[in-house]
Amino acid sequence: MPVTSDTQTADLNSHRPSSPLHDLMYGHVYASALRAVALHGIADQVADTPRPVADLAEQAGLDAGALRRVLRLLAARGLFLEDADGAFALTDAGQALRTDAADSQHAAVLLFTDEMFRSSAEGIESTLRTGEPSFDAVHGRPLFDHLAATPDKSRLFNAAMTSLTTGVNEQLTRACPFPEEGTVVDVGGGRGGLLREVLTAHPDLTGILFDQPQTVADHLLDTGELRGRWRTQGGDFFTTVPEGGDLYLLKNVLHDWPDEDCLRILHTIRRAVVPGTRLLVIDAVLPGNGTPHPALALDMVMLMTLKGRERTAAEFEDLLATAGFRLHRIVPTEALSSVLEAEAV
């Protein structure tokens, strides 16, 4: 049947916009499409110039028709742009999919679309009934035990955590009230990305990176600029942390744990310090009044994978007070997290 003139002039975008319900209903489809292009490095292929789908498919060994449909879906979400000739390019929002981008989120995409998290998300219904993380039921062990037993997943997890904090550590360093001199102890500091930023920005500070031995062994501190100003120490922050620091950091640690374990960590730090020692807790702080916050999605990840949670200012203040710290102020940042400044009493 020939196309009529009426059809030719019809507004093909006159349909109702997608509803929040349908966006959520298809959420797993978007995530799977995102994972597929990340696995095949499509963003790297279009980093500099738009490229026809046929070229992209040939280079990656993919079916051109299927690839176009996947990219078209992601273009509708603002990550790619299709031009009039059918070539695709990255948008500004999609640049972080590149593996070589300064703020690359490639590893984070692969982690949070990995079967570890997909299967845990599918198990949220059981979490609603039991209150227990669905990850444990699906994988037969807690998340961190699973990572310790699966080196490839552990490497992906560490790479994703590094990518998530790229750029963020610089923002946090600007926002945090650091002293001009003294020793900063980064408790549960991972590979030391934040501590590296802090020591670089404050040349008279020294630092101690404290985390599990296998984590600090892969640290990021060995640069010429920082030579002689840091050391690493492996251990368990539930039992001990380095003593004698002037300032202690807890970045994205407390949200991994339920209140009772948070208190164990905080009590361990309190035993290691003298009154007046400052503690900076860096975590998302929920509004507590029903206002939407981007960390609500992260809170759901905590629900399904760990027994941790995102907390309100009042909940943080209660935890700190119980462990012997007084909360002085909360400093918002450009990042997802805020900085809670407390002092040992």
Question: Is 229 exposed, middle or buried, given 0-12, 13-18 or 19+ CB atoms closer than 10 A?
Answer: middle
Determine whether 106 is an active site residue: no
What is the DSSP secondary structure assignment for residue 96, as one 8-state letter? G
Give the separation between CA 161 and CA 193, rounded to whole angstroms.
Answer: 10
Contacts of 133 by beta carbon, 8 Å cutoff, 6+ apart: 120, 127, 142, 143, 303, 304, 305, 306, 307
HSE (side-chain half, CA atoms, 13 Å) at 62: 21
What secondary structure letter does DSSP report for 185?
Answer: E
**Alpha-helix runs per DSSP H in 166-222:** 168-175, 193-201, 213-216
Determine the angle formed by the axes of helices 193-201 and 168-175, rounding to 10 degrees: 50
Which one is catalytic: 28, 40, 255, 267?
A: 255
Q: How far apart are CA 74 and CA 38, in angstroms?
A: 12
Report the distance separating Cα 61 and Cα 154, nearest Å: 28
Length of the chain in terms of residues written: 345
Cβ(312)–Cβ(286) under 8 Å? yes
Residue 64 phi/psi, 5° resolution?
A: -65, -40
Burial of 21 (0-12, 13-18, 19+ CB in 10 A): exposed
Residues annotated catalytic, as ranges: 255
